[in-house]
Amino acid sequence: MKPSELEMQAGGCVCKKVRYSLIGSPLRVTICHCTWCQRRTGSAFGVELVFHEDQVLFHPDTLSVYRHISDESGRWLDQHFCNNCGSSIGLTLESVPSIQSISVGTLDKQNWSELTNLERRHVFVRSARQWSDIPGDVEQYEEHFRN
């Protein structure tokens, strides 16, 4: 892996008004099958790169935040998005302080080699779509791994 790859990655939304830079590698990848992630992404699951908040620098022209209160835990989850094009950029969570996640599809370099070596966790598999095939040998949790 090239050192430059580790030092800085970038990404952003569809319309390019929200951009970010990443310093270093993500801590892990969380693949979340909860119904909230299904709705917020409009897809079958959310795929989030988990960073420490200090590793993520936003260029926040139009970065907006929607605060959702979990009906299960009562805690807040902030969805970061572009208020121009609506792209989902990432999340912060009351339950995991100092973490900023980045939605994997917003990375400029989808072939970032670092990602293939990261720890991957499938969470909330209890609500996974029937046709979302999860390999049997990956780390997976019925709910969250902290439970």
For 83-86, which contacts have Cβ atoms below 8 Å and span 24 or more sequence positions? Answer: 84/13, 84/15, 84/17, 85/13, 85/14, 85/15, 85/17
* 17 or 68: CB nearest Zn ion: 17
* 54 or 139: CB nearest Zn ion: 139
For residues 91 and 76, is the Cβ–Cβ distance under 8 A? no
* 13 or 50: CB nearest Zn ion: 13
3-state secondary structure at position 118: coil
For residue 8, give both structure tokens: 């800085």
What is the bridge-based pairing of β-strands 99-103 and 46-52? antiparallel
* 29 or 32: CB nearest Zn ion: 32
Least separation in angstroms between CB 4 and Zn ion: 26
Contact map string, positions 66 to 105, toward Zn ion, x by CB under 5 A: ----------------x-xx--------------------
Residue among 5, 6, 10, 17 that touches Zn ion (CB under 5 A): 17
Contact map string, positions 25 to 54, toward Zn ion, x by CB under 5 A: -------x-x--x-----------------
Least separation in angstroms between CB 111 and Zn ion: 23
* 6 or 85: CB nearest Zn ion: 85
CA 99, 102, 40, 83 dihedral sign is positive
Provide CB contacts within 8 A for 115, sequence distance 6+.
26, 29, 49, 104
Residues of the shown chain interacting with Zn ion in the complex, contacts defined by CB under 5 A: 13, 15, 17, 32, 34, 37, 82, 84-85
